Structure 1
Amino acid sequence: MPIQIWHASASKQQAGQLETACRQWLTDEEQQRAARFRQPTSHNQFVVGRGMVRQLLGRRLGVDPRALGFQQSAHGKPHLDGSTVVEFNVAHTSGLVVVAIGQDRRLGVDVEGLDRRIDLDIAKRYFAASEVRWLAAQPAAEQTQAFLRIWTLKESFIKAIGTGLTMPLDQFAFHDLHSPHPQLSFTDERLPSAKKWGPAEQWQSHIFQPAAGYIAALTVHADQRPQITTQPWSSFAPRT
């Protein structure tokens, strides 16, 4: 079964028609959580993200979206209650939400706006040496996008394994970074993280542009590159 990636705009200011529609699938607890966000863009990202996940998973599993139960791993990665084999992950940034859904395999997704302000010193402090060298070799005008290319890939991997930033970002690296399918490696195969999550060849990554002005990355645990579909989502007439 292919991995489905859905994306939807989230209002940066006052909630719009999409946010209003998504609220119908949120639980009372989620409604209360959404109300605690002070910034409109954060509030809307949460509402759209949860609404998308509930509607898409409910449709896929044939259940009421509000009846779905979620749990979180020790590091905060959400997953469905029960023994379902459906795997999903959500990413959001100002103005956009992305949801990836697969089956029987770990996956993670991340998205960033290309207008995001970056600090290249972060790369020097936290990225793997090979990634720092590749970034430094890019033309100055392309370094923001190059940085975000690496950043979304790294985020997608640590979201797939569910460790958050407890796994140091310099313990793994991505190569062939100009490709839409960069390859993961571990900087030292003797490290516990490499032994736990390797071999690196069993991870597949994909860089894509879900909407104009954004860059996103998906990383999946799979021996071979899976089929991936990417499409816009509408709460009014979604298709799966």
Structure 2
Amino acid sequence: MTGPASPPAKDARVPAGPRLFLAEVDAAYDAVYEAQLGLLDEDERARLARLRLVPVRREALAARLLLRHALSACQPRPPQDWRYLRGVYGRPRVADAPELSFSLSHCAGLVGCLVAPGGRVGLDLEPCARATEELWNARTLAPQELDELLAQAPERRDAAFLRSWTLKEAYAKAGGRGLRLPFDRIAFARAGDGAPRLQRDRAEAPAWRFWSFRLDAAHVGAIALRSRRVAAQAIAIETVPALPYRGAGRVLRPADPF
């Protein structure tokens, strides 16, 4: 006699929600990254060979390796087996796993990779120490944003600008247009639950989820996700065993203070 049928197993190959992976980049870790150069495909290695500045090449190599390890953490297969295609505006996508979307960002000794189930995703990381005053203008901020920024105490303006800038960068990357998107026409506000909300298009806004956060004393960031399948939720910072990072375990929430 057989018992009741078991429910179908959930597809473990696709993440249930967005997953954020981070890795540190430093000359001290060069041997760790260079030892994994063989995981990249021929095109990736050729692109790296054209980068002459050592810090730029170091970050690019770390980002490409983190992407491969992050994808393998979400859908088990050897990191070297992933292949990519170029989509609209040159945005890369996974060749044979359309259910996975990803976004990369790197800055000031840190690389990040966001992987999510379908939809559009964007990740932006920025250094807290970045001077931003030269960007306070009508090309990067909507009129009300510029007024609100200049009304802030001088010591708070860089942080206020970076919060807006990272959200816009993440949103632009998720849409695949990057800096082609007119930043002066995009604005964000805090909703009743404290999470960032898009003000640009009321019809489009409900489909988007945003996270704005301070990672540590040196880095801030933002995430944009367009998917009606995924609710605004906490995102745990993850690592991959093959790459260094010492800050795993923290949980990011949409309404985290910046």
With normalisation by structure 2, the TM-score equals: 0.79
- The one-letter code of the counterpart of 1:79 is R
Structure with larger Rg: 2
Matched, 1:93 2:98: no
Alignment counterpart, residue 207 of structure 2, candidates 199, 202, 205: 202
Given that 1:112 and 1:152 are in contact with CA atoms closer than 8 Å, whether structure 2 keeps it comes out as yes
Q: Which residue of 2 aligns with 1:55?
A: 69
Q: How many percent identity over aligned positions?
A: 25
- The one-letter code of the counterpart of 1:150 is S
Structure whose residues are more often helix by fraction: 1
What is the alpha-carbon distance in structure 2 between the residues aligned to residue 15 and residue 60 of structure 1? 24
- The one-letter code of the counterpart of 1:130 is Q
Matched, 1:147 2:154: no
Given that 1:180 and 1:208 are in contact with CA atoms closer than 8 Å, whether structure 2 keeps it comes out as no
Given that 1:25 and 1:55 are in contact with CA atoms closer than 8 Å, whether structure 2 keeps it comes out as no
Q: Which residue of 2 aligns with 1:230?
A: 237
Change (3 A) 1:159 1:17: same
Q: How many Å apart are 1:106 and its aligned residue?
A: 1.2
Matched, 1:213 2:218: yes
Given that 1:88 and 1:102 are in contact with CA atoms closer than 8 Å, whether structure 2 keeps it comes out as yes
Given that 2:128 and 2:217 are in contact with CA atoms closer than 8 Å, whether structure 1 keeps it comes out as no
Q: Which residue of 2 aligns with 1:29?
A: 43
SS of equivalent residue, structure 2 residue 170: helix
Q: How many Å apart are 1:35 and its aligned residue?
A: 2.2
Q: Which residue of 1 aligns with 2:252?
A: none
Tell me the matched-pair count. 228
Given that 1:203 and 1:221 are in contact with CA atoms closer than 8 Å, whether structure 2 keeps it comes out as yes
Given that 1:41 and 1:94 are in contact with CA atoms closer than 8 Å, whether structure 2 keeps it comes out as no
- The one-letter code of the counterpart of 1:202 is A
Q: Which residue of 1 aligns with 2:171?
A: 157
* 1:107-146 → structure 2 map (5 Å cutoff): 107-146=121-160
Structure 2: where are the runs of 5+ without partners? Answer: 1-15, 249-258
Change (3 A) 1:232 1:211: farther
- Root-mean-square deviation over aligned CA pairs: 2.5
